[in-house]
Structure 1
Amino acid sequence: MAVLAVVATSISPTYASERVFINAKAAIVMDADTHKVLYAKNPDVPLYPASTTKLMTAILLVTHLNPDDKVYISPEAARQPRVRLGLKSGTTITAEQALHAIIMKSANDVAYAVAQTVGGSQQGFARMMNLKAGLIGCRRTNFVTPNGLHDDAHQTTARDVALITAEAIKYPRIVAVMQTKEYQIAGIPFRNGNRMLYVDNPSYGTLIGGKTGFTSKAMFCLALAAKQHGHTRVSVVLGAPRKSFMYRETRRLLEFANKEKPVQIV
């Protein structure tokens, strides 16, 4: 992994910046429309993204499959490590059900099934993921898996995840699923794993949605989008050492952006 080097920016150089310590390895707040960076810490350092990867999987799903198209759960898909939806090999679900499973449940088995359905194989889907990443401006992203399960070569950056998130929220199907709290597939109920969704009247604006992620090597990751005074802002935190830090630091950064308060991230 690359050596971390802090890069900090602020909304306005006119006022003295407040120094804010961020525990996560990398973080960024970006305007989704202009791609202007409001704050950043190590935005271009390659890191493991965990299940924030599934944002790209969701983009390819909605651009290649209609809601009622079938997604086949192969033996390889059914054997993917937890977290799984737990469908049996040989079953099928609709693309719309698959989208709910990968965004809300973060189901690794369903993400793998989507990769096989859309790309023919994990390798073929990874090529599609990397091509799409390049088209939306990602410069330091190399996807290997469709679900974010660990692979040493599967890396991206906070800036690139912000670009992918900004792209994902352009699709109403994805946003609708991000905002869904409860769902059921084949008699299996589950809730949305993004805790920010359950906060009433958030202090940072109006939540659009996002995606969490965790592996032991990536640690805790969160990509989140919110409406703020007519702007759409995207926050990304990668490599937070605790889940509580991941949520707290995301909230704080978006609060600073909402108030247009200059900070120096350290």
Structure 2
Amino acid sequence: MILRAVLLAGALLGGGLISIEAAHAVDKAKSKAEEPKSKARTTQKAPPVAKKGPPVAKKGPPVAKKSATKTVAHRDKGAAMAKSARVAKSSNAAPQAAKKRYTSDARKHRNANRVFAGDVDPWQEPSNLAVHSGSALVVAQDGGETLYEKNATTVVPIASITKVMTAMVVLDSMPNLQESITITDEDVDYLKGSRSRLQVGTVMTREMALLLALMSSENRAAHALGRHYPGGLAAFVAAMNRKAASLGMARTHFEDPTGLTSNNVSTARDLARMVAAAHRYPLIREFSTTSGATAEVKGRELEYHNTNQLVKSPTWEIGLSKTGYIQEAGKCLVMQARVADRPVVIVLLDSAGKQTRIGDANRIKRWMESAGASGKQPTPA
């Protein structure tokens, strides 16, 4: 309107009048000229709409927060489970601590020195030494000093420990060790049904039969040795009982040369006497500690190994060894060995676990060595 007034005034001042139509044309041109500015103003009003966007965007975080809460819950659950595992692990701390006492020892001789969670401090008194066999005895080889004992006078089946007596009686008869003997059906174990690779009809020297009986606890070989004794098997068993009596084994009785019968019984103390006596036989020392040998059986060569894994251990100095097992006797082990620079006899009877007798032997050895290293002798039980 101001522009229109100006134009009218200018026209009047210029000496001429402008028509009404011309004025309308000017207004129309003005409207078109102002239209872009209006649109521009409309466009400029868009930001308020854009400003409404953030509230919508702000609704997003609660959703994300819910997810984060779930993640935290999972993390908390995981932490709880880890804590539970740590609590469970801590409940085993005591046996694990005991096990770690001998970790370095176990790394050096893993096969020979089995470590058990029940191991105890080797400086403790013998009465507290963790020997798990039912009967046990550790004595000086000369029979004078008892270093440790547990149920040492209890009469129990002795299984194949019997074969040590079998070997002494065979050698006492001064036989021809190169003479051939034959495995027959009489030597087959029909009592326990134990297996043997010595087939009926196998022929071998008496010496080989003695080696297999002592090293691998071969039952048919031991039975054949007794059966080929002068006077036969009955005479042989009688000689075994006479020999036991002569050694002062008052609570010992034998009924066969193998130990398959549970009627072969003795005590840990009686067996210590037997082991000390058998150690005086060079062939028994040699054969019982041989780690392995090859025997020819009906044209085939068969490998045999010692039933006592400790004879292969560089940490043991074993002069005589014999293992035994039947269900009634449990796992058994007798040894003459030099431990802490002392010759001793170790007897372990009625062991329940597969490696219990080996673990007991290693515990006794560590106890004696630790006492010697500390400058004192193990206190007699």
Flag whether TM exceeds 0.5 (same fold): yes
Change (3 A) 1:92 1:219: same
Code of the aligned partner of 1:88: V
Aligned to 1:12: none
Code of the aligned partner of 1:41: K
Code of the aligned partner of 2:379: P
Task: State how far apart, in whole Å, the 1-side matches of 2:125 and 2:153 are.
Answer: 25
Aligned to 1:158: 268
Q: Percent identity?
A: 27
Equivalent position SS for 2:225: helix
From 43, 50, 53, the equivalent of 2:162 is 53
Task: State how far apart, in whole Å, the 2-side matches of 1:145 and 1:200 are.
Answer: 35
How far does residue 161 in structure 1 lie from its aligned partner after superposition? 1.2
Aligned to 2:199: 87
Task: State how far apart, in whole Å, the 2-side matches of 1:79 and 1:41 are.
Answer: 33
Code of the aligned partner of 1:126: V
8 A contact 1:213–1:221 mirrored in 2: yes
Offset from partner CA, 1:81-125 (integer Å, 9 cap, x none)? 424242323x43112101111011111111110111115443322
8 A contact 1:71–1:92 mirrored in 2: yes
Task: State how far apart, in whole Å, the 2-side matches of 1:122 and 1:137 are.
Answer: 23
Equivalent position SS for 1:141: coil
From 42, 55, 69, the equivalent of 2:179 is 69
Offset from partner CA, 1:16-63 (integer Å, 9 cap, x none)? 656123221100011222343221111111001011111111111222
Equivalent position SS for 1:113: helix
Task: State how far apart, in whole Å, the 2-side matches of 1:157 and 1:21 are.
Answer: 20
Aligned to 1:195: 309
| Greater share of residues in strand | 1
- CA RMSD, aligned part only? 2.1
Task: State how far apart, in whole Å, the 2-side matches of 1:17 and 1:255 are.
Answer: 12
Aligned to 2:139: 30
Aligned to 1:3: none
8 A contact 1:50–1:147 mirrored in 2: yes
From 206, 220, 226, the equivalent of 1:109 is 220
Aligned to 2:112: none
Aligned to 2:65: none
From 213, 216, 240, the equivalent of 2:327 is 216
Structure 1 portions without partners, runs of 5+:
1-14
Offset from partner CA, 1:168-218 (integer Å, 9 cap, x none)? 11111111112211212222211111111121223xxx2213001111111
Residue 261 in structure 1 maps to residue 373 in structure 2: no
8 A contact 2:147–2:378 mirrored in 1: no
| Greater share of residues in helix | 2
Structure 2 portions without partners, runs of 5+:
1-123
Equivalent position SS for 1:38: strand
8 A contact 2:255–2:261 mirrored in 1: no
8 A contact 2:125–2:379 mirrored in 1: yes
8 A contact 1:60–1:129 mirrored in 2: yes
Task: State how far apart, in whole Å, the 2-side matches of 1:227 and 1:20 are.
Answer: 20
8 A contact 2:126–2:148 mirrored in 1: no
Aligned to 2:16: none
Paired residues in the alignment total 245
Change (3 A) 1:105 1:16: closer
